Structure 1
Amino acid sequence: MSRKLFVGNLTYNVNESELEALFAPFGTVQSAQIVVDRDTNRSKGFAFVEMASEGESRAAIEGLDGQAHDGRNLTVNEARPRVSRSPGGGDRGGYGRRD
């Protein structure tokens, strides 16, 4: 199991210090990063939290997944590796391609 967690269904007004405080009862929070839209600088409603150990990560998932926070039920699970995307938005069904 990874120490990095995905946190979804966050309200747009949650900040990183609140996120750290939410996870602190389950262990040492090494980092808490809310993902923001690069154009508007507004939260996208999800974040990544890295705990100090796998055991702390497991405890945070068990303690927070599905729990209400600020009127929403949180989704907390192990973060998956980032999938690389091709430039231009991926496969466009052949449009704009020259074979």
Structure 2
Amino acid sequence: MTIYVGNLSFDAEVEDLQHLFSEYGSVSKCSLPLDRETGRKRGFAFVDMADANAENKAISDLQDVEWMGRSIRVNKAEPRPTPSFSNSRW
């Protein structure tokens, strides 16, 4: 399961997120996507934890918590929708 963390401070670094979520268990992966054109952080991140119970506890405890000056949103990441070509002429 992957956790989506939104409304992040642009000052947040991967190490900051790893430290925050490691309080709940082992963090297996953490990424801060960058804007393709500007190279700047986009204000959200994805965190994978080794244990589902730890992930659920982190989501529950950190939802709407103020962190680094921002009220962060923390929830299960939704899979990207696959593009539909049903209206395509091809």
TM superposition score normalised by structure 2: 0.88
Identity, % of aligned pairs? 36
CA–CA separation in structure 2 for the residues paired with 1:33 and 1:98: 37
TM superposition score normalised by structure 1: 0.81
Larger % of strand: which? 1
CA-atom RMSD, angstroms? 2.0
Residue ranges of structure 2 left out of the alignment (5+ in a row): none
Which of 2, 8, 13 is residue 4 of structure 1 equivalent to? 2
- 2:39: which partner in 1? 41
CA–CA separation in structure 1 for the residues paired with 2:73 and 2:10: 15
- 1:74: which partner in 2? 72
Residue ranges of structure 1 left out of the alignment (5+ in a row): 92-96
Kindly name which structure, 1 or 2, has the bigger radius of gyration based on alpha carbons: 1
Shift of 1:98: 7.1
Moved beyond 6 Å, runs of 4+: none
For residues 47-62 of structure 1, the aligned pairs below 5 Å read 47-62=45-60
